[in-house]
Amino acid sequence: MAQTTLLAIVNPLSGTASVARKQQWIDFLLKKATEAGFYPEAVFTRHPGHATELAVDAVQRGIRRVIAIGGDGTMNETARVLIHTQTALGLVPVGSGNGLARHLNLPLDPKKAIDRAINGRPVIIDSGRINDHAFFCTTGMGFDAYVAQEFARQPVRGLPVYIRTSYRAFWKYQPATYEMDQQRHTLFSLTIANAGQFGNNAWIAPKANVADGWLDACLLKPFPGTAVGALAWRLFNKTLDQSKYLTVRPLRSLVVKGEGPLLIHVDGEPVQLRTDTATVQVIPSSLLVVR
């Protein structure tokens, strides 16, 4: 039997498509990849962290292309172990947000995305790290992390559920205070962006560049309820950085201290830290991504 040269890692729970529908995408991928000269293999993930295990095995087997079919969480689980390797990540975005894929202008139609992931060429991008957690799109704390935690508790995924969850969270959430560079800041949210958006074309850092060796720190100050509409419009119109409530500054590293153990999100997935301190740094030119 020929040695596998392309591995597809498929999350059966991402987004709203059925497993049967995802199996059709796998069949399409196996056919296209074989036509392109690869010896492909596809595996459904069975539990949280399984994508990471599969990606580690792929690197050890010398597989040079791994395609993640899922959302930003699946992408993160896969990519975190491809940093500083010769294995390139292909993205087939079928999750709720698909932030990195959207930033890279990758197709959102699954079959078109599969074709690109097979036939595109690898380019190198930056990644980031917050404590022991790698991120590729955004990380942060405050409202975004709170929404990520609430969304993770929902039995159904998808954009409508995310919108409803965010709306309910807005009325419960209280801004928090953080210490950075020996200064205290009371913020609605603190986002560290490698790519420019959370997903769904919600642009928190419109000028972010995934290949410039920098991250963008986005400090969103508390704002009155009357400003919600204008801020939402700016978020989706790529002009939030022009709001008086948002400060964006480039950085290569940052230490943030909260008032207790920090709840953060990593590419949209909630993570409860055991410490009140988060250290963020850029990892320049660290990941191969197929475009």
Give the domains, in start order, of the chain with CATH numbers.
6-120 (3.40.50.10330), 133-284 (2.60.200.40)
Q: Where are the strands (E) in the chain, listed by range?
A: 6-10, 40-44, 65-70, 88-93, 122-130, 133-135, 138-142, 176-180, 183-187, 189-193, 215-220, 246-251, 253-257, 263-266, 269-272, 277-290
- pLDDT, tens digit (0-9, with 9 covering 90-100), for 14-65: 888 899 999 999 999 999 999 999 999 999 999 999 999 999 999 999 999 9
* Mean pLDDT of the 255-277 span: 96
Reported confidence tier of residue 146, pLDDT bands at 50, 70, 90: very high
Residue 157 has what pLDDT? 72
Structure tokens at 8: 């597809």
Name beta bridge partners: 180: 183
* Mean pLDDT of the 268-277 span: 96
Mean pLDDT, rounded, of the chain = 95
Number of Cβ within 10 Å of residue 46's Cβ equals: 11
- pLDDT, tens digit (0-9, with 9 covering 90-100), for 175-187: 999 999 999 999 9
Number of Cβ within 10 Å of residue 53's Cβ equals: 15
Reported confidence tier of residue 230, pLDDT bands at 50, 70, 90: very high
Whether the predicted pLDDT of 101 surpasses 60: yes
d(CA 59, CA 195): 25
* Mean pLDDT of the 223-236 span: 93
DSSP state of 151: H
Please give the model's pTM, rounded to 2 decimal places: 0.93
Reported confidence tier of residue 1, pLDDT bands at 50, 70, 90: low
| Dihedral (Cα; 49, 50, 56, 60), 10-degree rounding | 160
Whether the predicted pLDDT of 109 surpasses 80: yes
